Every structure is written in structure tokens, then in C-alpha cells.
Amino acid sequence: MRYRSLSTVVSAILFTPLILFSLHIAGAQIMTSTNYQIESDSVNVGGGLSTSTNYSIESTAGEVGTGASDSVNYSLRAGYQQMQEVYISITGTSEVILSPAIPGVTGGESNGSTTAIVRTDSLSGYQLTIKAEGSPAMQKGADTIADYAPVGDPDYTFTTGATDAHLGFTPEGADVVQRFLNSGVTCNSGSSNDVSSCWDGLSTTAVPIASATGSNHPTGVATSIRFRVGVGDSAAQAPGTYTATTTVTALPL
């Protein structure tokens, strides 16, 4: 199995996040018809799946011409189970800058977003996760901006109290996981994916934000990640440019 990850930096002028992505690519092919998809085949004279209470073995007999063969245009992995690798890629913008800058006296909100497109031929699908490299995610030297902290499920509405200063995020797209879907009032409930709803805080633990079964190659599926910094009018947050680094990762399932 291969995976793809995007490194993300979030920064702010008096609160400005930005996001950077680095990616790796793998390749594979499948054979298809109206009714079937075959990821790999085996031409042999025997073998198969054998199981017992304690063991499971897949074997083959009579394979010929096994091994790897490559040219400028083709890559062949011949022989038993050589073609089990899958293709997955992730692409996205290199930077996202939150705007506008937030006035230090009155406070306010600053917003930005980026889009990650995942393409995979894995018949089991993929999962997209996000995690922060620091806690809290957004920092400027010794000064920090707290991670948004809903109680339990994400907050349907991004809410900033008078003394709050925090960074939140929400994913949007066709494959968003249940935690970020809503009933129009509460999150992790219903099946709607309303714009700018279901806000959560970043964590140093990878959090799933999108998932789906089946191949989506070659079109892929886009997931937008919206970021917001909110500062209350009594927060007394130190001015400057704050930065957070996150990693967005796509895994074939």
C-alpha cells in the first residue's frame, strides 16, 4: 500500500493561516468490463487459498516469466501477486493565506481555504486525514492561538467569545466523514454538508475528514478544508504573524 501526504503551514497576521503540500505518487492498473474489475490475474496450473484454524495461505504453481520489467512507457510486475500495489495521488494548492488581518482592538475573524483532490484506483477506497504538528497548532514564538475546542461533536456555528482567540477548521465535499455532516442544527447527525458548518479544532493526532469506498480514478474527488481564526474584542492577543503546520494524508484502504 502507498500513501500520500501534504505538509501544511498555517500562519496569521494578527492572524493569517497558510498551507503547504508535498506529495508522492504511485501507479497501478486494473482490467475492467461492464460487470467486473480485475486488479491482477494469475496464469498457472494449480494453487489457491487454503485455511485452517491457525493458518491461511495463498499459493500458486506453474507461474512463468515472473518479476519486474520496465520501459519508458510501461511498468510490468509479472508473477504471483506482483500487481497488488495501488495508485493514489493527492494534489492541492501550495499556500492559503487567511484574510483579512484582524484588528487588535476590536477583534474579528479571518478566513481561508484550500482543496485537496484525491485520486485512487483502490477498489477499497481511501481515507483523508489531517493533523497539526504542534499543540496548539498556531504559534508565534512564545505566543499562541488556541485550537478551537467544541464540546464533543464539532460546533455547527463557529462561535468566538469576548476573551477567545482560536483557530478552527471544517472540511467540505462529497466524501466528508459523518463527524462533519449535520442535520441543519447539530453536527455528527444527519447527512448534510452545509457550507461553513461543523467547526473543529486541530490535533496532533490524525483526524479523518473524508473517506469513500471504490475507485475514483481518474477523475478523483475534491475535499475543501476551510480555516478560520476568531479573536474576541477582549482577548488581548499579542499582534504579529502566527504560523501553524499541519499534514494532510491520503491512504488507500
* 19: pLDDT strictly greater than 90: no
**Per-residue confidence at 245, pLDDT binned at 50, 70, 90?**
confident
- Nearest Cα residue to 19 out of 70, 93, 74, 121: 93
* 243 falls within a domain: yes
- 136/34: higher pLDDT: 136
- On whether both 176 and 108 belong to a single domain, the answer is yes
- The pLDDT score that the predictor gives to residue 22 is 33
pLDDT > 70: percent of the chain: 76
Q: Are residues 54 and 151 in the same domain?
A: no
pLDDT in tens, 196-218: 999 999 999 999 999 999 999 98
Give yes or no: residues 108 and 225 share one domain: yes
- 110 lies in a domain? yes
> Are 96 and 63 contained in the same domain?
no
HSE at residue 140, side-chain half, CA atoms within 13 A, is 15
pLDDT at 28: 38
Residue 32 lies in a domain: no
CB 250 within 8 A of CB 128: yes
Strands (E), 183-220: 207-212
Q: Are residues 161 and 65 in the same domain?
A: no
Note whether 120 and 147 are same-domain residues.
yes
Residue 178 domain flag: yes
Amino acid identity for residue 218 in this structure = P
Residues 199, 238 within the same domain: yes
**Cis ω for the linkage preceding 239 (within 30 of 0):** no
What is the residue range of 164's domain?
Answer: 4-27+89-252
pLDDT for 93: 64
pLDDT higher than 50, residue 135: yes
Structure confidence at residue 97 as a pLDDT band (50, 70, 90): confident
pLDDT of residue 165: 96
Q: Are residues 67 and 112 in the same domain?
A: no
62 and 178 share one domain: no
Query: Regarding predicted confidence, which is higher, 61 or 15?
Result: 61
Report yes or no on 155 lying in a domain: yes
Which one has a higher pLDDT value, 41 or 181? 181
Instruction: Let me know whether 60 and 126 are in one domain.
Output: no
124 belongs to a structural domain: yes
Give the separation between CA 113 and CA 95, rounded to whole angstroms. 9
- On the question of pLDDT at 175 being above 70, the answer is yes
**Do 178 and 64 belong to one domain?**
no
Q: For residue 83, is it within any domain?
A: no
Please give the torsion angle defined by the CA atoms of residues 234, 236, 239 and 244, in that order, rounded to the nearest 10 degrees.
-90
Average pLDDT estimate for 97-116: 90
pLDDT digits (tens, 9 = 90+) for 139-152: 999 999 999 999 99
- Indicate the pairing of strand 88-92 with strand 75-78: unpaired
- Number of domains within the chain: 2
